[in-house]
Amino acid sequence: MARILIVDDEVHVLGALRRLLRREGFAIEVALSGEEALEKLRTFEADLVISDFRMRGMNGLQLLGQVMHAAPRTVRVLLSGHADLRTGGCPSAEGVVSHFFSKPWDNEHLIATVRSLLESHVPVPGSA
């Protein structure tokens, strides 16, 4: 079972993503800040980290940079309603971020993309 850490300082976003991904059979852990996420990663070996970009304290890009150095095989996904990395809005994300999702996200697209990103890393629930 793939393990996913979701990081966002908005409780309703955490809850929505947790429910969505749990229904798909993933093991989920959540954190309300980058600092809390790094603490959780000491005991929760995430296969994929989904982080909001704008958070108090450490932003999502800074967090994913630290995740990249600590656990380079972990897939790193940035989620934001403010920065679109696909249009070059954040050149420092290159090599750090595996994928970018805009808020609001499409549930089916998010699940399909998460499964695809994890495919080469760990067995995904429901895949053949």
Residue 127 maps to a domain: no
Residue 125 resides in a domain = no
Under DSSP, is residue 30 helix (H, G, I), strand (E, B) or coil? strand
Domains in the chain: how many in total? 1
Q: Which one, of 40, 32, 26, 34, lies nearest residue 9 by Cα?
A: 32
Reported pTM: 0.85
Cα 9 to Cα 52: distance, rounded to the nearest angstrom = 8
Examine residue 128 and state whether it is found in any structural domain, yes or no: no
pLDDT tens, residue by residue, 52-109:
998 999 999 999 999 999 988 899 999 988 654 444 445 455 568 888 888 899 999 9
- Domain that residue 115 falls in: 3-119
Is the residue at 29 inside a domain? yes
CATH number at residue 7: 3.40.50.2300
d(CA 64, CA 22): 22
